Structure 1
């Protein structure tokens, strides 16, 4: 029994030394210096070490997967809008319809931004392309500032057998029988008439 008590005292002393304890000034054992836990077995066989407490200084792992929030980068700026899908080359630049006369004609020419010219005459239609010179000339005529002053209607009520020209361009519609004095409009009509069937 004395040998067992002596072994117990030795084991306790070793454990206290490992735990960093020492006797205080008042003769009582001092508190442990840190949070480490030590266990002592009476049988003299060492017990498995207690698992180490997780360190509060360890860096936490960054979130990953679908829950991770990604900040917008240069390839995906916030508020970016997709680029325009079309160039506008297929839109109509000008449409001219010619009706009336003794024979009651009904002809049409449509010029698009890509240089395509579509013509129609009493149901028969055709498509061709304007030459570079024709297209440049037409764009120049459409850009003439004098067209802004052309009235929407310029008709002579006493001439029922005249051709009536209806033009649509630049968001407006102009109708004339060519009896007025509008040189800019006359030049545009002359250029468009060259594409009409039978001229």
Structure 2
């Protein structure tokens, strides 16, 4: 009976919030129900899911453990690295470099806010999706995935808005060490 109520609530129209949070790490968890925009007024019909305490005013940057804010992948360089930095909305981060054990840490609330501000800067939205300059021999290539957008840049191709994002990343920027 609860499943029927959930299915009926989900079929009422696009953007209707069922009150259930998206599954952590699920594809599309940054869009659809729970994202900013017009929401249904009043309480959600039927019983609310356990732990669903966010209301219509919950911002998209509400830090929830496990939700990815940004992924940065670094490839290339003289030694041929392939490193990945994942920063979660709650400020937690993980760096994976080759076959080394992952390093983890947590940004302070101020650092996490600075990174979110750099990613949400309208100038960052204008950074070209592909490199526009000539590649640098043995240089690094950076892939920055934020929301539904991927920006690829090389060492000689860092517009100021992208550099601002790099400066706000944990550990002093994209992970380039082998």
Same fold by TM-score, threshold 0.5 exceeded? yes
Count of equivalent residues: 123
* Match in the other structure for 1:194: 172
1:49-81 Cα shifts (integer Å, max 9, x gaps): xxxxxxxxxxxxxxxxxxxxxxxxxxxx99536
Runs (5+) with no aligned partner, structure 2 = 1-42, 55-62
Shift of 1:123: 2.3
Pairing 1:173–2:150 present: yes
SS in 2 for 1:99: strand
SS in 1 for 2:162: helix
Pairing 1:110–2:76 present: no
What is the rounded CA distance, in whole Å, between the counterparts of 2:176 and 2:143 in structure 1?
A: 17
Q: How does 1:19-168 map to 2 (within 5 A)?
A: 79-80=45-46, 82-83=48-49, 89=64, 90-124=66-100, 125-168=102-145
Shift of 1:85: 5.4
Confirm or deny: 8 A CA contact 1:119 1:197 kept in the other structure.
no
- TM-score, normalized by length of structure 2? 0.59
- TM-score, normalized by length of structure 1? 0.53
Change (3 A) 1:82 1:147: same
Runs (5+) with no aligned partner, structure 1 = 1-76
Confirm or deny: 8 A CA contact 1:178 1:186 kept in the other structure.
no
What is the rounded CA distance, in whole Å, between the counterparts of 1:144 and 1:155 in structure 2?
A: 21
Indicate the RMSD between aligned Cα atoms, in angstroms.
Answer: 2.8
